[in-house]
Amino acid sequence: MDLEQFLQQQFLSNTLEKYCWFIGFILFGLIFKKIISKYLSQILYKLLNRDSLINLQTFDSLLIKPIGFFILLIFIYFGSLNIIFPTDLNFETKDFKLSTIFNKGFAIILIISISKIALRFVDYFGIVFTKKANMTESKMDDQLIPFIIELGKIAVYIIIFFVLLGKVFDIDVTALAAGVGIGGIAIAMASKESLENLLGSFTIFFDKPFLVGDLVSTGNITGTVEKFGFRSTRIRTFDKSVVTVPNKNMISAELDNLGKRKVRRARFYIGLTYDTSIDQMKKVVSEIESLINDHPRTDQEGRVKFQEFGASSLDIMILYYVNSTKWDDFIDVKEDINFKIMKIVNENNCEFAFPSTTVYLQK
């Protein structure tokens, strides 16, 4: 038996030659998919990235894998064109043949592959617009862009859903959309909690109680808003952890936008010992008040008052405002003022008090 006769042998309605061609197409796709996808990615990069806001490596990391998978599917499709599906393996139902299962399954995978490429393009434009937004002083675009990105991804999912219904399952999408409506389908598919979060996101978007970058406090969570999306808001706390808060909670609970204030307040007490004289107390209070009012980083007039007689100290209340909302600036100014308060107390021959107990022994 020569090679040609060997290749013409049939197995499951197909010759070995057809199977070899099919396997060859798959192997060719596996070998060359990365090269072809990288070449296509470079062409797309030159067409889209005219402002050079994103480098080629980042662009390739987004598109090479999904494009490569799509190319492999194309090779599988061309390799399967000459394959005949054996009729003896068909199911009893006439419309449910082995070829039908393969064709519909392949169509589903192909459509999902295209959707992944579309989603990566959404991510690409998200990166580009985010970089453009970072060049502006407005915080509004920083908040709007993640919202639009999520909206774009939802649009891709909806389109793919209807394409699958129409092209794969042969459902009249036009009649379905007219009868139920896209909004009705979304409501039917979504849970009550998801709808509440979605409505909460629109409330936040139009009411603007906060913007990305604002320092907010809600419930027992305080931190900087990093991302605002359809379902939730991400907050970076002071201990550098990220807390995800559902949008329905952001609008139902009290929210203090600390980023709207122009200053940060410092309020605390210092206690001097009871052997401090009236003249010493008056001088310490006056000098601390002058220190605060003359400090270049404080805003508005400070308040320094001999407040009350404590259990073991004469308590002075100190209140002032730092003209910056940044935490680092606030603690730097507070540290500087604290050192100078210590110097004032020492120069006036006074001492800081600490909790103490006097015990009287009776003979």
Asked whether the beta carbons of 202 and 251 are under 8 A apart, the reply is no
**97 or 284: which leads in pLDDT:** 284
Q: In the prediction, which pLDDT does 5 show?
A: 62
In sequence order, what are the beta bridge partners of 245?
A: 233
The residues of the chain that CATH labels 2.30.30.60 are 193-260
* Residue 269, both tokens: 């007490």
Q: In the prediction, which pLDDT does 205 show?
A: 78
Q: In the prediction, which pLDDT does 85 show?
A: 67
Confidence class for position 301, pLDDT limits 50, 70, 90: confident
Average pLDDT over residues 30-55: 86
pLDDT digits (tens, 9 = 90+) for 113-141: 999 999 999 999 888 888 887 777 776 77
Confidence class for position 350, pLDDT limits 50, 70, 90: very high
- Residue 53 Ramachandran class (φ > 0 left, ψ -120 to 50 alpha, else beta): alpha
Q: Which CATH class is domain 264-347?
A: alpha beta
Judged by DSSP in three states, 306 sits in strand
Residue 237 to residue 245: CA distance in whole angstroms: 12
* Beta-carbon count within 10 A of 13 CB: 13
Asked whether the beta carbons of 118 and 156 are under 8 A apart, the reply is yes
Confidence class for position 102, pLDDT limits 50, 70, 90: confident
Question: Which H or E run contains 301?
Answer: strand 298-309
Q: In the prediction, which pLDDT does 20 show?
A: 79
Q: What φ, ψ does residue 96 adopt, rounded to 5°?
A: -120, 70
pLDDT digits (tens, 9 = 90+) for 310-347: 988 999 999 999 998 887 899 999 999 999 999 999 99
Question: Quick one: CATH architecture of 193-260?
Answer: Roll (2.30)
The residues of the chain that CATH labels 3.30.70.100 are 264-347
Q: In the prediction, which pLDDT does 70 show?
A: 93
Q: What φ, ψ does residue 322 adopt, rounded to 5°?
A: -90, 130
Q: In the prediction, which pLDDT does 87 show?
A: 62
